[in-house]
Structure 1
């Protein structure tokens, strides 16, 4: 099924209620909740809304935002990385139950032989971001960085080598702790096993087959005018629009994209791994990526505690979390990105929702409010199940 514009009634939705979604999204800009916003919702392959509100930059004479604006996907990149890993699993060249050390021997230390590929995918490696930062701060001057391969980015190469010997915090599989470096390790595995760089792999096997022509690592200079800008006081503004961020090839957060391109990626999952005649994943891999692989494992994130963390391979699984909205089915899966981007897929209701914003510090839990409101309004527009 290929995405195409259509009327909400064609797919059992209400035009009047979709109009309310658009009004709600526009009000977020009018009320200064965000300065820039793009929303896409597609049900059964029909795009029922694709709207942009606000301005490209915070300057008073800024161009009006359009649907082709580029937003940093940040951590949503991790779902692309997980997809690449599953492709290599399908090819029979890596195994999810194999130790990370099988592919990266430098990743060593007491107990780390028990960290498997699936632990990295589900953030259950037993290593925390704060411990990695402390380890690098304390040891960076004594760690020798070997020469890098030609197909590896210098910054990623250095960061990986600085963290290879970080010690465990807990036994693998005991608790979920969101760990970006774990996805950098997955990107390195993709590079070593495939023989091409991680961004080249994504470009060749995801962007190109799916027709995602507006998605980039290391955004070309000719396309940078499309990148949405933040005010200096906005969350993440100090790093998200720097040259290092725009040039990033990080497997944990380097992609810049449009809302429609991300919707194509989401629709591929709704289509059980195929889009526009191009198969990216097998249906079985889609099932495996989008089910809970850590039953009984708890997690804490920001100001929330999740007795059941619910995580698949790359995707967060809704379960009982109500993550991103109150009306999603337990089978829905989603992912946030820093500073206000979100993608959700609900196979029960056959719908994909993309909500891009510039997050602002309103002394409120942005990610647990306004995107929830948008998603609830979209789901409430469904009248036929």
Structure 2
């Protein structure tokens, strides 16, 4: 039996030949220098050169200007187990990539949107909208609890077959019948998949619309998104980036941890996301497919107080409330590390956090594994880093840390009087208060 292995992709010396670059703004408009930009990109290239990620895509905006919109590597055909003579497909900046758990934040903002309109209330019990959910002591679990990962159902106990993920109604029934592992509100434990299905069902019941239609009408269409939705439409499947199991993984290490968090091992998790049936279904916590630029556009909208061009997608007050911390650092019983959460977003930290050093005001979300999307008001940046190698432990870790470090270092903080506020200008904020 093989207890551990390491998988990496082939990397060419000619990085320019595997790099796709879309329109990028004059760097001076972003308040940066060419040297600062090159320092960040060299760190991204070094991450790709570890071989842990067949594709790396980066979109970074500063002061509303696109500094990076690039992809490097291959969307398909250059994984660790692909033959050298296999047909390879270069990654493009518009290549759809599965966001995995970064999808959660989009779902959360749909919840906040309906709360803003008075259609739902975050303090209402889930059972008010889904009576079937009231079983086994879950009657008082609120929307607030699920958004903040304190709902008491971080996973479903027992053996769950992978095919279950392709049947939403079966998953919902399992969650209705589930006994909570802790009293709602009492323990912080990352809900990797479970809360998303319940929140999605709430959204569908109160709007009487499929979640895909709701997202399309309320966010994707108003923001001019080409491919930004749960699952993946057939017309985009010839472009989609394939996910690969990479890095070091041990049967009693990485796989055990992933079973604890996700309920499945590395190979199973990766294979599910490459399955067309996963692209056919709606998994509110895990299966939005889009490009780095489009999810970056979404975070830029949040950074700009819910505004995109001439459209107000969310009110500034809603974005402000959604990104407020629900607590300080607390040990997450699922991820087994200290975490800070808002009502949907994961939060950065000082002196270091999940989005790099000195990111205490940053908000965003990570996705399995090494997908990071965030906005940092202090630096006036929105960032999306999408990767297709599902390394948990591997040679990429120092390089990934360096990418985050370089972004924080090369995008200096903006003076308060020059910084965009989630409420608009300081004068507008004082008027609203």
2:138 is aligned with 1:106? no
CA distance in 2 between counterparts of 1:107 and 1:384 reads 45
CA distance in 2 between counterparts of 1:13 and 1:89 reads 38
Unaligned runs of 5+ in 1: 141-152
Cα 1:264/1:166, change in 2 over 3 Å: same
Q: 229-238 or 42-51: which moved more? A: 229-238
Q: Which residue of 2 aligns with 1:145?
A: none
Give the 3-state SS of the residue equivalent to 1:170 in structure 2: coil
2:103 is aligned with 1:77? yes
Q: Which residue of 2 aligns with 1:312?
A: 342
1:302-381 matches, cutoff 5 A: 302=335, 304-306=336-338, 309-320=339-350, 322-361=352-391, 363-364=393-394, 369-381=398-410
Give the 3-state SS of the residue equivalent to 2:229 in structure 1: coil
Q: 76-85 or 162-171: which moved more? A: 162-171
Shift of 1:33: 2.7
Shift of 1:154: 8.0
Where do 4+ consecutive residues of structure 1 move more than 4 Å? 231-235
Shift of 1:197: 1.0
Shift of 1:328: 3.9
Q: Which residue of 2 aligns with 1:147?
A: none
Q: Which residue of 2 aligns with 1:197?
A: 210
1:22-171 matches, cutoff 5 A: 22-59=41-78, 60-129=86-155, 132-134=156-158, 155-171=167-183
The answer (yes or no) to whether the contact 1:136–1:163 under 8 Å persists in 2 is: no
CA distance in 2 between counterparts of 1:35 and 1:154 reads 26
The answer (yes or no) to whether the contact 1:334–1:345 under 8 Å persists in 2 is: yes
2:323 is aligned with 1:277? no
CA distance in 2 between counterparts of 1:277 and 1:290 reads 23
Cα 1:111/1:370, change in 2 over 3 Å: farther
Shift of 1:226: 1.2
Cα RMSD (Å)? 2.4
Q: Deviations over 1:40-77 (max 9, x none)?
A: 11101011111111112134431221111110011111
Shift of 1:174: 1.6
The answer (yes or no) to whether the contact 2:378–2:413 under 8 Å persists in 1 is: no
Q: 292-301 or 280-289: which moved more? A: 292-301
1:242-253 matches, cutoff 5 A: 242-253=275-286
The answer (yes or no) to whether the contact 2:108–2:147 under 8 Å persists in 1 is: yes
Cα 1:336/1:299, change in 2 over 3 Å: same
CA distance in 1 between counterparts of 2:42 and 2:135 reads 54
Shift of 1:295: 4.3
The answer (yes or no) to whether the contact 2:245–2:389 under 8 Å persists in 1 is: no
The answer (yes or no) to whether the contact 1:355–1:371 under 8 Å persists in 2 is: no
CA distance in 2 between counterparts of 1:240 and 1:293 reads 31
The answer (yes or no) to whether the contact 1:325–1:371 under 8 Å persists in 2 is: no
Unaligned runs of 5+ in 2: 1-22, 79-85, 248-265, 415-433
Q: Which residue of 1 aligns with 2:260?
A: none
Cα 1:369/1:116, change in 2 over 3 Å: farther
| Length, aligned pairs only | 362
TM-score, normalised via structure 2 length = 0.78
The answer (yes or no) to whether the contact 2:150–2:184 under 8 Å persists in 1 is: yes
Give the 3-state SS of the residue equivalent to 2:353 in structure 1: coil
Shift of 1:190: 0.4
1:203-222 matches, cutoff 5 A: 203-222=216-235
The answer (yes or no) to whether the contact 2:46–2:399 under 8 Å persists in 1 is: no
Shift of 1:329: 2.5
